[in-house]
Amino acid sequence: MDSKDNKIAERMGINRRNFIKLVVGGAIGTTLSPLPWKITDDIAIFTQNLPWVPVPPAGEYSYAGSLCTLCPGGCGIKVRKVDERAVKIEGRTDYPVNPGGICPLGMGGLQLLYNENARFTGPMKRTGERGAGSFQSISWDEAMNILADRISGLKAGELAAIDGNLKGSTMSVVIERFLNSLGSSDYIKMQSSQETMDIAANLLTGTRGSVGYDLENSDYILSLGSGLLEGWGSPARVINAWSIWRSDELKGRVKVVQIEPRASNTASRADKWLPAVPGTETALVLGMAHVIIKEGLYNRDFIDNFSFGFYDFETAYGSYRRGFKTLVLEDYSPERVADITGLEENEIESTARDFASASAPVAVCGRGKGALYGSLYESMAVLALNALVGGINRAGGIFINDPLPLADLPDLPTNTSTGSDLKNGRIDMAGSRSYPFSQSLFNNLADSILEGNESPIDMLLVFSANPAFTAPNCGKLRKALEKIPFIVSFSPLRDETSMMADLILPDHIYLEKTDDMICPSGLQYPLYGLSRPVVKPLYNTRNSGDVMIDLAGKIGGTAGDAFPWKNFEDVVKHRVKGLYDAGDGLTDFDGVTPPWGTAGSIASPGYSSFDEMWEKLVKNGLWYRHLDRGRNIETIFNTKSGKFEFFSSIIESALKDIDVKILGKNASNDDICMPHFEDISPEGNDSFPLMMYPCELINLASGWIPNPPYLNKTLFDDQLKKDNSFVDINPDTAAEYALKQGDSIIIESPAGRVQALVNLFEGAMPGIVFMPLGFGHSAYDDFLRGKGANPNEIIYGKIDPLSGQNIWWKTPVRVTKL
């Protein structure tokens, strides 16, 4: 029985057969249950909604209107928000500058706001080596104490500031006032071609206002290297004007002529492209003037009634002076100009005739985006050309506007205890005997600091600027920065200059703060823009304006007295009060009647008290006047003669004080006072046979604001490849050096060397290497760092006569294949 029982037990127990039965039962049971089916379904759903893919939270939509202050263009923007998050930037149709459109940089602005890796999230102080970028977070109190203590210990003249804020903006006024209140005059503005043009306008018209171009009403646009489609002026405004010229109504009736050595977007899309040798544009303008004068095509009414110095004249002392007419007729025959510029003689003549016979021609200048200096005599020549055809303050011409009627800040307390540096010269030599007309000469800063054994300044404040990257010959500037004992950066972004700073007091990014803008670059009608925060500050940052006011209070004394306001907004309000008192500005735009249109001004400003105006200003972000065509040109010229001066009496009277050696060696005394061409050849020799021309691209931010990542999408594969940027070279030139497409080359100038790839481009003038500005960052995050080469590293050139600004468009270089 044992064996039988055992057998039965064996059969009943867990044996192989029974185990299989159990499993089969389990399998059938599982199949009949929802488990496998539901799990399969759920896993499928899981894979469609992977948990690490973010789900953007929904919420209430709203639009916050403001102003884009990323460039001097001042476009109106509206930010789409979902609850508190900003999700998209769009152009405002109720803003006159950029009706609806916006440029790619402005469109990508949210990536500057939200990119935590490229921003400072709070005040910091340097811990490691200069430039190593190692910082330690500190509190605002500590940061302010460090700064106030150090400033209090400074002697007169040891404090300087570099300011990239827009000219005339309240922020720039506050910074300059802060410096002045401490007895320092070393307030250095970053470069811009508008600056050069404004000096030229002052010299010829006596008005220190802003120069604008009535592009929308013009029918013949002569652009001297201005990147009208590369981000010049207000990019969205200029492109909008372009689409007006190309609209069905005007198609074929508006001509655009681009003078530029490279087939840029503008040159390609223009009706005529004249590739003049870089730096000879002045000669071309004067050559055109020659044709216009010789053929009697100029505006006699304007010349005879509103101009001075066109004809030869006798001074009060009986000396005989050559006038503009003689200068141009004697020196700038088309034959000679063709020789200088490399253009055809008949092309110069026909362009001149077309220009003069157009009903509303305008000549514009300012190379590229206009973010670097222009050339003073060139700007004067452009003004003179516009004047020749009577295009000053006339529809479709150049407009010279009075400064905005903003209220001045009260005079500084006179008993400055800290010193009398204000009377002494500036570190950048602007306004000195050598450069009497410039207010600021950023390019001289490096030389002055590097000159002696010790830096003449102890402390440098940097606002909204990244000179370590954007300065031509920035290697030299970085050396100078290294020599300055203490640098304070107010940048919200981790830029190259901040990496060299000792103390970081981060500003808000533009979408988080109150800021203002005076007359966007190149705009023909007066406009004041006010930008308001559209989101709450994300991080522990503070508006630099508020920081300066607090700092002044902390330092006390003259600085404290200079700032009786509670905060930055109060200063803005103080100034805006002047606009209210002027009594005639508009604070809303209906989207239909553009200020440059023919409808004329709307009489009623639409507000009756300052508070009401302020409210509207905050809401709409602008104050403006319609283009004042009725303004009598008899009263706009504030020169000695009361006229437009082809022969500048301002220069003439300053001549006795000018250090003449700084002027062109070929210029006679008469010529110095008039627009004339000086051949400023770079100190090239046989070892640097080529020329490097920095070019600007609309989809590559080249200034203080870096490219937001989305803009990198728009770069073409002949502009950037992995970590290398391309340079455009004409195939014929490339052939001389046996260069093929994509070859890696070293470009070397007396100032330095950079590496880039070759892009063979038929549209590039032979003999010139075209390098895009904006590549080659060494700071920020992975999206910007180490991409391409920065032409600023190798820019090497002479000084522009009279203005003292640098010539950055002619760098002698040689290329070597790697």
Binding to other proteins in span 730-769, by CB under 8 A: 730, 732, 761-766
Segment interacting with other proteins (CB under 8 A) among 113-121, 166-174, 459-467, 671-679: 113-121
H or E element that contains 52: none
Spatial distance between the Cα atoms of 414 and 180, rounded to a whole number of angstroms: 11
Is residue 442 near other proteins by the rule CB under 8 A? no
- 35-48 helix and 16-32 helix, angle to the nearest 10 degrees: 60
Q: Using CB under 8 A, which residues numbered 174 to 203 contact other proteins?
A: none
Q: Which stretch binds other proteins (CB under 8 A): 231-239, 352-360, 466-474, 625-633?
A: 231-239
Q: Does 59 bind other proteins (CB under 8 A)?
A: yes
Choice between 251 and 661, CB closer to other proteins: 251
Q: How far is the CB of 757 from other proteins (least distance, A)?
A: 11
Furthest-apart CA pair in the chain: how many Å?
152
User: Is the Cβ of residue 242 or residue 469 nearer to other proteins in the bound state?
Assistant: 242
Q: How far apart are CA 20 and CA 117, in angstroms?
A: 60
CB 101 within 8 A of CB 242: no
Query: Residue 584 has which token pair?
Result: 């005639």
| Binding residue for other proteins, selected from 1, 2, 5, 57, defined by CB under 8 A | 57
Residue 131, C-beta contacts closer than 8 angstroms, at least 6 positions apart: 482, 499, 500
The CA dihedral of 517, 521, 526, 528, to the nearest 10 degrees, is -10
Site map (CB under 8 A) of other proteins, residues 397-426, x = contact: ------------------------------
Please identify which residue in the block is written with the tokens 């032409």.
Answer: 791
Which helix H or strand E contains 414, and what residues bound it?
A: none
Task: Round to whole Å and give the CA distance between 762 and 770.
Answer: 12
77: left (phi over 0), alpha (psi -120 to 50) or beta: beta
Rg of the chain (C-alpha set) = 31
Report, in Å, the least distance between residue 629 CB and other proteins. 26
Establish if 558 lies at the interface with other proteins (CB under 8 A).
Answer: no
355 binds other proteins (CB under 8 A): no
Please state the closest distance from residue 276 (CB atom) to other proteins, in A.
Answer: 10
Phi first, then psi, for residue 635 (nearest 5°) are: -105, -5
Number of residues that bind other proteins (CB under 8 A): 109
- Which of 183, 184, 178, 156 has the alpha carbon at shortest distance from 562? 178
Nearer to other proteins, 369 or 575 (CB): 369
Q: What are phi and psi of 272, to 5 degrees?
A: -145, 135
Nearer to other proteins, 572 or 720 (CB): 720
Helix or strand (DSSP H, E) at 624: strand 622-624
Site for other proteins in 67-86 (CB under 8 A): 80, 82, 85-86
Which residue in this structure is represented by tokens 């990019």? 235
Shortest reach from residue 744's CB to other proteins, in Å: 15
Of the residues 327, 576, 715, 734, which one makes contact with other proteins according to CB under 8 A: 715
Of 439 and 714, the one with the shorter C-beta distance to other proteins is 714
Backbone torsions φ then ψ of 746, nearest 5 degrees: -105, 130
**CA distances for 212 relative to 362, 371, 397, 400, angstroms:** 11, 16, 9, 6
Query: In sequence order, which residues have a C-beta less than 8 Å from that of residue 295 and are 6 or more positions away?
Result: 353, 356
Site map 236..275 versus other proteins, x via CB under 8 A: x--xx-xx--x----x-----------x-x--xx---x-x
CB within 8 Å of 696: residues ≥ 6 apart: 227, 230, 231, 368, 369, 371, 702, 772, 773, 774
Shortest CB 713 distance to other proteins, Å: 5
Chain centroid, CA 694 distance in Å: 15
Q: Which of 613, 789 has the CB closer to other proteins? A: 789
Task: Show the tokens assigned to 400.
Answer: 């010279």
Pick 261 or 545: Cβ nearer other proteins? 261
Residue with Cβ nearer other proteins (172 or 702): 702
Q: E-assigned strands of 97-254?
A: 124-126, 135-137, 159-163, 187-189, 210-213, 220-226
Choose one: 100-108, 209-217, 416-424, 678-686; the region binding other proteins (CB under 8 A). Answer: 100-108
Site string for other proteins, 512-551 (x = CB under 8 A): --------------------------x-------------
Single residue of 350, 716, 742, 816 touching other proteins by CB under 8 A: 716
Enter the tokens of residue 264.
């840029």
Distance of alpha carbon 368 from the chain centroid: 10
Residue 760, SS3 per DSSP: strand
- Alpha-carbon gap, residue 224 to 258, rounded angstroms: 6
CB nearer to other proteins: give 131 or 763.
763
Instruction: For residue 154, state whether it binds other proteins (rule: CB under 8 A).
Output: no
C-alpha distances in Å from residue 231, one per residue of 66, 77, 103, 264: 20, 17, 8, 12
Candidate list 431, 533, 537, 709; residue touching other proteins; CB under 8 A = 709
Q: What minimum distance in Å lies between the beta carbon of 78 and other proteins?
A: 11
Min dist CB 130 to other proteins, Å, is 26
- To 10 degrees, what angle do helices 544-555 and 568-582 make? 110
Which residue carries 């050595």 as its tokens?
Answer: 261
If binding is defined by CB under 8 A, does position 610 make contact with other proteins? Answer: no
Return the DSSP state at 125: E
- Decide whether 694 or 708 has the Cβ nearer to other proteins: 708
- Rounded to whole angstroms, the Cα distance separating 749 from 791 reads 10
Q: How far is the CB of 464 from other proteins (least distance, A)?
A: 22
Quick check: 640 binds other proteins (CB under 8 A)?
A: no
- Closest approach, Cβ 86 to other proteins, in A, equals 7
> What are the start-end ranges of the E strands in 736-804?
744-749, 752-760, 768-772
Question: What residue type is assigned to position 12 of the chain?
Answer: M
Residue 542 CB, shortest distance to other proteins, in Å, is 19
The residue from 1, 3, 52, 423 that contacts other proteins (CB under 8 A) is 52
Binders of other proteins among residues 578 to 607 (CB under 8 A) are none
* Closer of 80 and 640 to other proteins (Cβ): 80
- Segment lying near other proteins (by CB under 8 A), choices 48-56, 188-196, 319-327, 637-645: 48-56
- Please give the residues from 2 up to 41 whose contact with other proteins meets the rule CB under 8 A: 8, 11-12, 17-19, 21-30, 32-35, 37-39, 41
Report the nearest approach of other proteins to the CB of residue 692 (Å): 17
> Which one among 72, 104, 405, 682 touches other proteins, defined by CB under 8 A?
104
Q: Binding of other proteins at residue 235 (CB under 8 A)?
A: yes
> Binding segment for other proteins among 214-222, 291-299, 571-579, 708-716 (CB under 8 A)?
708-716
Q: Minimal distance in Å, beta carbon 676 to other proteins?
A: 27
